[in-house]
Amino acid sequence: MADAFDSSDSQRGARPLRQAQAVTLDAPLRLESGVELSAVTVTYETYGRLDARGDNAVLVCHALSGDSHVARHGPDDDPGWWDLVVGPGKAIDTERTFVVCSNVLGGCRGTTGPNCIDPVSGRPWGADFPAITVGDMVEVQRRLLDHLGIERLRAVVGGSLGGHQALTWAVRHPERVRGCIALATSPRLTSQALAFDVVGRNAILHDPGWQGGQYYDEGPGPSVGLALARMLAHITYLSREAMDAKFDVARLQPREVATLFEKRFSVGSYLAYQGHRFVERFDANSYVTLSLAMDLFDLGATAEALRDALAPSRCRWLVLSFSSDWLFPPAQSRRIVDALIAAGKPVSYCDIEASGGHDAFLLEERLDLYGGMMHAFLDHLGDRPTVLPNAAAPLPESQPRSIFHGNRLDHELIVELIPPGASVLDLGCAIGLLLGRLRERGHERLVGVELNEAAVLTCIERGLDVVQADLEQPLSAFADGQFDVVVLSQTLQSVIDTEGIIDEMRRIGRSCIVSFPNFAYHRLRTMLYQQGRSPKAEGPYHFEWYNTPNRRFPSIADFEDFCRGKQIAIRDRLYLDSESGRRVEENEDPNWNADIAIFVLEGRAG
């Protein structure tokens, strides 16, 4: 075992963090367990400058195996773990923000942890290092910010275990956080993720080199166990697709790696290499300490508990998940988002389509999208946002939620139908044109729901709160009667589950506005009747029968029948002939003359 590693490589934490600073906070730290640490040293790095008003600080929290070196300080510096995101002109722009990143409590890269000297025994803490929580990590970060004179963060940002810290910041110190960006994270681990951690820890704790955790003085330490834990964890960071792409073509061509681990398969030599590298830079006691803190992190097993846990937060939120992440699967991010919605918090959310697995938030693959969202979100937290919405970017043709072409006369009428100051939920908000109008009109509580990720980005660039969701699914995060008005504008016809969406609107809104193209408009009727062809016209019906994104084809009369059948009270109705740009009155046979109808329905709590 021991000779699986060249022990001279095993000096943990040996790579110098050249620009890191360390501060010892002398006041005793009482951990959540009740144990007291007499003093804590924090190693941290900063980037950019704190502005005069102390208003531009961004705290970046690292994941399990990270450290304070989030980015290069200059071209000659060592690579940072998030160089893609943090730096001049990047998503977290160090020319405009003051970035702070510290090694976590319990870590092994300069902040107090198991490999530091226990002042009582005079020896490294080892396995006697007290159990810590994510809350303890955040408390140390809070003291660091006090030391740095930062009263309030523009934002706290973190992925994975870093996300757990960011979530904790937002709820523990609501007055000190204006924005929270949580990537690839969760309210608590899945049982599957927990199980992998258990196996990894068992591998470490049953390695003969473990020696009860006091292996610093001699021996290689639990190198094999730690390498096994890392190999296993590494598999969980990658998606199956990514592993196939990387290893499947030449699976029997391993790289030459100096290792006693199995290297019959290319994936084996890769894992062996990852295991070795990790043992060189990481301490097994820290791995046990930090993974346990992560495994015990728990903001609530139920929707209600999670909502209550997140209720104290007063920041704006950006939550991002990645589609192929199976360690922190998107459904867990949606739980966070749902709880924030239920608690009435301002939140934007997107599940980024990505192949990179859990590691996707560290990869270039979809940086345009997740980086763009972070950049815009941070920018709008400042006083003078500079990010301009990329409104010119056309939505993809197949985008099924915004098929309306031409001017949005209907928006004008919808705005008029909405009482001043009303809270509004816009389902299928596309790039946020209607919400933008309402914001100009002074509405404060505005939320959009949209499926297309490019449209979600544009909404965030506009500074709007937008949640990515599929209107075919129940919107159960939204509470009964949570909004004054719920809007479904030119979207009804592209939703398959008509009954479901109308039902959800009426549950959530005190009042509901539905606009849709009228399939019985005279041009369409005539076309089918006279020509015997599936109707087609300018506007929402300009598609061919075989490629229209429309899924439902209601007429005004159909919709009225529908409401009658479901005993839905219609409060108001407006009809438009969008070709002539004029309204069609009730006595002008709107089902023949209008191509667009707008109905105001009574919500259940209306």
Within 254-313, the residues that bind a second copy by CB under 8 A are 260-262, 264-265, 267-268, 271-272, 292, 295, 301
Contact pick of 11, 33, 121, 192 for a second copy (by CB under 8 A): 192
Nearest by Cα to 316 from 377, 267, 401, 402: 377
What is the 8-class DSSP label of residue 244?
H
Stretch of 95-103, 113-121, 190-198, 423-431 contacting a second copy, by CB under 8 A:
190-198
Contact pick of 558, 602, 604, 605 for a second copy (by CB under 8 A): 558
Stretch of 143-151, 199-207, 347-355, 375-383 contacting a second copy, by CB under 8 A:
199-207
- The beta strands (E) that lie in 371-431 are given as 424-427
Q: How many residues bind a second copy (CB under 8 A)?
A: 72
Closest to a second copy by CB, 148 vs 231, is: 231
What is the 8-class DSSP label of residue 92?
E
Q: Report the alpha-carbon distance of residue 233 to residue 436 in Å, rounded.
A: 44
> Is 160 in the active site?
yes
Decide: is 554 part of the binding site for a second copy (CB under 8 A): yes
Contact pick of 195, 258, 388, 569 for a second copy (by CB under 8 A): 195
Q: Report the alpha-carbon distance of residue 172 to residue 178 in Å, rounded.
A: 13
Burial zone of 219 (CB within 10 Å; 0-12 exposed, 13-18 middle, 19+ buried):
middle
Rounded to a whole number of angstroms, the distance between the first and last alpha carbons of the chain is 71
Q: In this structure, are residues 196 and 238 in contact, taking their beta carbons and an 8 Å threshold? A: no
Stretch of 148-156, 227-235, 382-390, 404-412 contacting a second copy, by CB under 8 A:
227-235
> Is 239 in the active site?
no
Closest to a second copy by CB, 174 vs 300, is: 300
- The label of the residue with tokens 């068992």 reads 202
In the complex, minimum distance from the CB of residue 245 to a second copy, in angstroms, rounded to a whole number:
9
> Is 358 in the active site?
yes
Given 62, 358, 411, 443, the catalytic residue: 358
Decide: is 523 part of the binding site for a second copy (CB under 8 A): no
CB atoms within 10 A of CB 237: 22
Query: Which positions from 478 to 517 touch a second copy by CB under 8 A, shown as an x/- string?
Result: --------------------xx------------------
Within 329-368, the residues that bind a second copy by CB under 8 A are 329
Q: How many helices, marked H, and strands, marked E, lie in the chain?
A: 17, 20
Question: Alpha-carbon torsion 309, 311, 312, 317, what sign?
Answer: positive
CB atoms within 10 A of CB 215: 23
Q: In this structure, are residues 172 and 138 in contact, taking their beta carbons and an 8 Å threshold? A: yes
Contact pick of 217, 249, 383, 567 for a second copy (by CB under 8 A): 249
Given 55, 197, 325, 595, the catalytic residue: 325
Contact pick of 235, 387, 479, 537 for a second copy (by CB under 8 A): 235
Nearest by Cα to 145 from 59, 69, 39: 59
Decide: is 543 part of the binding site for a second copy (CB under 8 A): no
Catalytic residues: 160, 325, 358
